[in-house]
Amino acid sequence: MSMDHFHEEVAVKRNNILNRIVYLFSWVVMILFALFAMMNLTSIMGQGGFNVVALIMTLISGGIAAGIFLFHDRLLTEYEYTFTNGALDFAEVYNNKKRKSLGSLNVKTIEAFGKVNSGAFNRYLNMPGIKRMNWFLNRDAELYFFYFSKDSNKRMIILEPSEELVSLIKQYIPHGAYQEH
């Protein structure tokens, strides 16, 4: 009987104070622009004639408020890595509310896996036509890369897994795919 391997972890920005301050500030700015849009809207409706300037100001300030509302959760982004018997699923989570799937990778099909501070990383990174996906938040973390080809396109994923996840990945990757140097 074989044992299933399942591991889930979330990469969180370690020093998140500035992002939280900007996030709270975005709420204030969004509310101010929404109030300004409402005031301009009431001035358009309350006047006897049509005021083009008030309409433009309403649309601009309302658009800014709506844009902030739609995108301010991205200030608090986390990456989720889920490993299940050799399949690694990636997701981007915004403010613990919205989840966007980034894709899946069967680690048995990768060509290379290793630390970003290795020479192998630079060799793969400098290949022409490679598409690089950065799915990490802390530049000072121990970063790892996957190199693989999909639909005849060269791709590289950079992430910040825990040592436990790295040991699980090493059990499933092809022989010779782990790049130590």
Give every strand in the sheet of 87-94, ordered side by side: 6-11, 77-84, 87-94, 98-106
Q: Which of 74, 94, 123 is the last residue of a domain?
A: 74
What pLDDT was estimated at residue 47?
61
Q: How many domains, the chain? A: 2
What pLDDT was estimated at residue 1?
45
Q: Does any domain span residue 1?
A: no
Q: Does any domain span residue 81?
A: yes
What pLDDT was estimated at residue 152?
86
Find the CATH number of the domain harbouring 156.
Answer: 2.30.29
Is residue 48 domain-shared with residue 85, that is, in the same domain? no
Rounded to whole angstroms, the Cα distance separating 107 from 35 reads: 51
Rounded to whole angstroms, the Cα distance separating 157 from 91 reads: 13
Is residue 135 domain-shared with residue 164, that is, in the same domain? yes
Is residue 91 domain-shared with residue 151, that is, in the same domain? yes
Is residue 87 domain-shared with residue 70, that is, in the same domain? no
Is residue 90 domain-shared with residue 139, that is, in the same domain? yes
Q: Give the residue from 67, 27, 62, 66 showing the smallest Cα distance to 42.
A: 62
For 52, the domain range is 17-74
Q: Tens-digit pLDDT profile for the chain (181 aa)?
A: 467 889 999 999 988 898 899 999 999 999 999 999 998 887 777 666 667 888 899 999 999 999 999 999 999 999 999 999 999 999 999 999 999 999 999 999 999 999 999 889 999 998 899 999 999 999 999 999 999 998 889 999 999 999 999 999 999 999 999 987 7
Torsion of the alpha carbons at 112, 114, 119 and 122, rounded to the nearest 10: 70
